[in-house]
Chain A
Amino acid sequence: MMAETVTAGDPTYTGPLSGVSLGLPVFHVTEPEVKEASDAATYKDQIELAEIAMDTDDIWKVVRKVREKSGA
C-alpha cells in the first residue's frame, strides 16, 4: 500500500496523495538492487536479521508488481 501510494496515488483515498500519481519506482530495502548498493556492514547491522525473518519473496513480488503496473 505504501508503494502504491507514492507510485499511483493513495489507494485508500484518505491522505494528501489521493489521486496524485508521483510515479516513483519503489524498492523494498531487501531487494538485490538496494542491498547490493548498501554498505555491507551497515546492512548486516541494521537490516539482515529482519530480512531473514521476512517472507521476502512475497514482499518482492508485491513491490515489483507495483513497479511494473505503473511502468515506474
Chain B
Amino acid sequence: MSGESLPTAAAVSCSLVHAPGLVRNGSKPSRELARDAALGERLQAALRGYGDAVAYAPNQAFIGNITPESLWDRPQPWWSSPMPGAKAQGPYGEILGEDAFFGLLRLADDFDLVHLTPSMRERALAALRGHPLFGSRDLSKVGAEPATPGGGEDGLPLHDGAGAVVGRVGGGYDQDQSQTPDILLENLAAKASGTLALLHLLKQAGLDPLAVDYLLGCGEEAVGDRYQRGGGALAKAMAEMAGCTHSTGSDVKAFCCAPVHALVVAGALVRSGVYKNVVVVGGGSLAKLGMKMGGHLAKNLPIIEDCLGAMAVLVRAGKPGDPRIRLDAVGRHLVSSGGSAGQIYDALVTRPLTQLGLKIVDVDRYAVELHNPEITVPAASGDVPRTNYRTLGSLAVQRGEITKADLDAFVREHGMPGFAPTQGHIPAALPYLAHALPRLRDGSMKRAFFIAKGSLFLGKMTNLADGMSVMVDRPD
C-alpha cells in the first residue's frame, strides 16, 4: 500500500451539549432517584449552570479553544477554576445550551414523540433562531405542538436545568420494551447531538452536504424495536437531518472502541474507491449522564457529567502532503491476543509500530481513552489516561527505549490529561485527532497514534475485551 494512496482525515468536529436537566434521565441517576426520591434535591443543587460548563477548562479543550496539554498547567480542580472570557464556540465545535437542544430533540423527532411545553417551545425557538447552523432552517416544527397526540400524562417528563418540567417524551409501539420513552429519548439525544457534530463538520470542511457519500455511526445506542433491538443505522437518520440526501450509512458497533474501528473502515472504503467522502459520526450518550454522581455528591462536587459529547470525522482521499491514516499498520486486539495489559499493548502498539519500523518514542503524541480524571478520580475509577500512558511508557521501558525513571517525563512528552466527558465512545482517542490535524499539517507534529479499547464483556456475550489502534502521520 503506497503512502500516497492512503486516505486522510480531512476534518474533525467535537461538540458538547450542556444538558443538566437530562442528568436525571441518565441510567445511574434515574435508578438512584427511583430508589430514593429525596436524592432529587441534592442532585438538583449539584447541577452546573451553562456558564460554568462553558468556562470549564476540559470543555474548552474539547471544542478546541485550548490544547489538552495546557490543562496540565491550569490550576486544579478545574471545576473551581473557571476560565474567564471562555467562549461557547471553538474551532472544532461548540458547547450547545439546553434550550437549543430541546429544540434539536424536536427537530430530530419524526414520530411526534417529543412534546415541549409552550414556554420551552419559545425558549428553544429563541435559541435556535440565533444559532449559526440552525437560524436559517425551517423551525416551524419546534414552535408547534405535534399534530399526533403522544407524550401525554404517561410520557416521560423532561426537565430543564432548573428542575422545571418542560415537556414529555412518549413511547413507541405499545408494550415494546425496546421503545420505552427513556430508550427513545436516549436515541433521539444521540441523533440530535450527532447531527450537531455532523453539521459542524460540514461547515468546518466547507463541504456541501450533498457531497457526503456514506456515514458510519460509532455510537453505542441500540436503535430498534422489539424484534431487532439494535437494528441500527442511526447514521442514516443523522444524514437525513443534516441534509446529506445523497448519502446512506450504517453503524459500527464495538462498545467504546467503535470510533477507531469506524475510522479504519471509513479509510478502507475511501482507499478502495467505493466512496469519496465518508463521515464517522458519534452522538452523545444520555445513559452516561451523571454516571459517577455517587462519588461527586459524596465529595460535595458539582455534577460534571452534565454534557453529551458528539464528534464527527471526514475521511477522504488525501492530496500529497495531507496527514495519512496508516491503514498499512492497523493495531488489532485479536480474539487470541490475551487480556493482560502487556498482551493488549503488544497487539495495539508494539505490532503496528514494528510493522512501520518505529519505536514507541518515535510517536509525538498518543491518544488513549481520554476520560476527564476530575470525573473518574472522585468516583474511585482512577485517572484512566494517566494509567494508560504509564502502561505505554512501561512498554517503552521493557523495550529498552527509556528507563523507569523517565516514566513521568514520557507521560508528559507523549501523553495528555484527559479532557473528554465520560461518554463511552466519545473519549476513545479520536477527540485528540481534532487537535492533531492542524499540527500534522503545519509540521509541528509528525505522528499521532490513536488507541481505543472496548469492554465487550459488559454485553455478556464474551469475556473478551477489544481494542483497535491506528496512526495518523505526516508524509516525509
Contact = CB atoms under 8 A, between A and B. Distances in A.
A and B form one complex: yes
Given A53-B341, A53-B393, A48 B387 contact: no
Interface in B114-172: none
Contacts of A54: 390
B343 interface: yes
Interface in A6-49: 44-49
B102 to A, nearest CB: 38
B391 A47 contact: no
B397 interface: yes
Given A52-B398, A52-B404, A53-B387, A47 B393 contact: no
A41 to B, nearest CB: 12
Contacts of B397: 52
B398 A46 contact: no
Interface in B386-400: 387, 390-391, 393-395, 397-398
B343 A50 contact: no
B394 A52 contact: yes
Contacts of B394: 49-53
Contacts of A51: 394
Contacts of A53: 341, 387, 390-391, 393-394, 407
B2 interface: no
A50 B391 contact: yes
A47 B343 CA distance: 10
A52 B397 CA distance: 8
B: contact size bracket:
10 to 19
Nearest to A46: B340
B393 A49 contact: no
Interface residues of A, number: 11
B342 interface: yes
A49 B392 CA distance: 9
Contact of A46 (B342, B390, B404, B407): B342
A48 B342 CA distance: 8
B101 interface: no
Nearest to B339: A46
A51 B341 CA distance: 10
A49 B387 contact: no
Contacts of B407: 52-53
B187 to A, nearest CB: 35
Contacts of A50: 340-342, 391, 394
Contacts of B340: 45-47, 49-50
A48 B397 CA distance: 11
Nearest to B386: A53
B345 interface: yes
Interface in B333-350: 338, 340-343, 345
Nearest to A54: B390
A45 B345 CA distance: 11
Interface in B317-356: 338, 340-343, 345
Contacts of B404: 52
Contacts of B391: 49-50, 53
Nearest to B338: A45
Closest 5 CB pairs of A and B: A52-B394, A49-B342, A53-B390, A53-B394, A46-B340
Given A49-B394, A50-B341, A50-B391, 15 more contacts: A45-B342, A45-B343, A46-B342, A48-B342, A48-B398, A49-B341, A49-B391, A49-B395, A49-B398, A50-B394, A52-B393, A52-B394, A52-B404, A53-B393, A53-B394
Interface of B: 338, 340-343, 345, 387, 390-391, 393-395, 397-398, 404, 407
